[in-house]
Amino acid sequence: MNTEALLAENVEEAEPLYVVHESPVHGRGVFARRLIPAGTRIIEYTGEIVDWEECCRRTEEKGGPIGHTFFFSLNNGMLIDGGTGGNEARYINHSCEPNCEAEEDDDDRVYICSLRDIEEGEELNYNYGLIYEARHTARVKKEFACYCGAPSCTGVMLAPKKRKSRSKAAAQAPASGG
Ligand SMILES: [Zn+2]
């Protein structure tokens, strides 16, 4: 055990409220390590701040917006790329009936906060409300299919129409022929 770990042991606040492991919903997920009361700021959504142009370039580089996106759109028009220098927040899955929500601060920082009490072991999730400007074709819907299993599940992680804030963003891959 290193010094940092020993120090962390003595600092209650240093113990994370969450743990990352395989999710039954999609890939890896983030789970409550202990009871998280409603209204708790659980984790900041961090990553490199990029503009739309850079977001599109990175998306194209990876072959398009497939299944998952780590971009989070800010009110000021910029995006957080959780895939570059981001933390565990990028593994929090989408749900149509979420137990968390994303809150943006006045200083353009985004935090994932609990909407209700969350039991130990429960998977954390929030509604991505994914912005995708291109037509929501069957193929697009399949790419962004939702498996949250909530009774009100819409089947997709996409927002029904354009939303300005507190949303993740999926850049349209240029020259996709659509
Ligand atoms: Zn769903």
Quick check: 174 pLDDT over 90?
Answer: no
CATH number, position 50: 2.170.270.10
Q: How close is the Cα of 126 to the center of ligand 1, in Å?
A: 10
Sign of CA dihedral 73, 74, 79, 82: negative
Per-residue pLDDT tens over the stretch 25-80 = 888 999 999 999 999 999 999 999 999 999 889 888 887 766 557 899 999 999 99
* Domain-located, residue 94: yes
Instruction: Let me know if residue 101 belongs to a domain.
Output: yes
Confidence of residue 173 (pLDDT cuts 50, 70, 90): very low
CA of 7 to the centre of ligand 1 (A): 40
- Whether residue 8 is contained in a domain is answered as no
How far is it, in rounded angstroms, from Cα 11 to Cα 149?
37
How far does residue 156's CA lie from ligand 1's centre (Å)? 6
Residue 177 lies in a domain: no
Please check whether residue 176 lies inside any domain of the structure. no
pLDDT for 124 beyond 90: yes
Report the distance separating Cα 101 and Cα 37, nearest Å: 14
Domain that includes residue 107, residue range: 13-168
> Does the pLDDT of residue 115 top 50, yes or no?
yes
Q: Which amino acid is at 163?
A: R
pLDDT at 14 over 50: yes
- The DSSP symbol for 38 reads T
Q: Look up residue 125 and give its DSSP letter.
A: E
Query: How many domains are contained in the chain?
Result: 1
The Cα–Cα gap between 55 and 173 comes to 10
Average model confidence (pLDDT) across the chain:
84
User: What is the DSSP code (8-state) at residue 56?
Assistant: H
Cα-to-chain-centroid distance, residue 178? 26
Taking residues 85-90, what's their average pLDDT?
A: 94
Whether 97 maps to a domain, the answer reads yes
How high is the pLDDT of residue 40? 96
Does residue 6 form part of some domain?
no
- Asked whether 42 and 124 are in contact (CB, 8 A), the reply is yes
Residue 73 lies in a domain: yes
Measured in Å, residue 14 CA sits from the centre of ligand 1 at 32
